[in-house]
Amino acid sequence: MDIVNKINQLKKEKQALILAHNYQKPEIQDIADYVGDSIELSRRAAEENRARMLVFAAVDFMAESAVILNPEKKVLLPSIGARCPMAQMFPLEQVKMWKKKYPKIPLVLYVNTLAEAKTECDVCCTSANAVEIVKALEAETVLFGPDNNLALYVEKKTNKKIIPVPPGGFCPTHLLFSSSDIASLKEAHPEAEVMAHPECNPEVQEIADFIGSTSQMCKYAKNASSNKLIVATEIGLLHRLRKENPNKEFLPAYEGAVCPNMKLNTLERIYHALKTEQTQVTVPATVASKARKAIERMYALLS
Ligand code: 13P
Ligand code: SF4
């Protein structure tokens, strides 16, 4: 029996679902029960009532969010080393330090943070709703972390004063894009539109026709009038874009834009996770209940 059949058989036996992020390898996206961006994956995890077990083909903070929102379920991360380096950039102690420095200013944390860090924030956001969340707050000055490029994007779109914390928080994969590479591609393909993730640097954002989360890019691409799109995000998204839009052409803004952490997941590791029910992601109950409030506040602020 091949690995895909073996995974499907185990999934049935164990009442498991595979949730995959848009950056996963094509073969993983193709066998997943659901493929989405971070807010869609956490929504799906929160609402899921058929499965007994969720296999998260993604990185650590996404699986942690699933545990926080659905503590009854067993959540498995097939590759324990799949850690988002940006989330590691803002540990709890540093979050506390910034809150102490600005006790009256609300702290908005990107979901790309560890559960512990979330316990100290006022509200969470994802790249799909960061602007809406900050707009919904009464405060005119907001602490925002850990991604400094997303913070700048939010500042531009809300006209509020954003204090990026910690200074220099970034995604190593999205910093690989350069505006000059994209300008050269645009010269060779003048009819192409550019889509970029808000984790890209401001020069890249400047030349983009559309800026959004990974799933928002999928929606934009479907309705785009141009049949050619340059994509400035992790290359895994190209598989979904091509699958959903067979008549459109998608050009990576940079072929080497790979998130090594996302790519640790393989079919073999997913099979092994299902078979052994390892590695289970856990979040202490006290941490989970505080972090849940920050995530639920995000949902409450979305109109
Ligand atoms: P999305 O929520 O847009 O999928 O982004 C998650 C992420 O890790 C981007 O690097
Ligand atoms: Fe983290 Fe960047 Fe990878 Fe997204 S692409 S999971 S932000 S390192």
pLDDT at 303: 73
Q: Which residues pair with 64 in a beta bridge?
A: none
Q: Is 112 in the pocket of ligand 2 (CB under 6 A)?
A: yes
Q: Is 147 in the pocket of ligand 2 (CB under 6 A)?
A: no
Q: Is 22 in the pocket of ligand 1 (CB under 6 A)?
A: yes
**For each of the chain's 303 residues, which pLDDT tens digit applies?**
799 999 999 999 999 999 999 999 999 999 999 999 999 998 999 998 889 999 999 999 999 999 999 999 999 999 999 999 999 999 999 999 999 999 999 999 999 999 999 999 999 999 999 999 999 999 999 999 999 999 999 999 999 999 999 999 999 999 999 999 999 999 999 999 999 999 999 999 999 999 999 999 999 999 999 999 999 999 999 999 999 999 999 999 999 999 999 999 999 999 999 999 999 999 999 999 999 999 999 999 997
Q: Is 37 in the pocket of ligand 1 (CB under 6 A)?
A: yes
Q: Is 127 in the pocket of ligand 1 (CB under 6 A)?
A: yes
> To test ligand 2's pocket by mutation, which of 22, 77, 171, 231 has the most ligand atoms within 8 angstroms of CB?
171
Ligand 2, residue 87: give the atom nearest the CA: 1
Please tell me the distance between residue 240's alpha carbon and the centre of ligand 2 in angstroms.
18
Q: Is 59 in the pocket of ligand 2 (CB under 6 A)?
A: yes
The C-alpha angle with vertex 125 and arms to 124 and 129, in degrees rounded to 5, equals 155
What residue owns the CA closest to ligand 2's atom 7? 171
pLDDT at 1: 79
Q: Closest ligand to 59 CA?
A: 2
Ligand 1, residue 22: give the atom nearest the CA: 4
pLDDT at 50: 87
Q: Structure pTM?
A: 0.97
> To test ligand 2's pocket by mutation, which of 39, 56, 261 has the most ligand atoms within 8 angstroms of CB?
261
Q: Is 294 in the pocket of ligand 2 (CB under 6 A)?
A: no
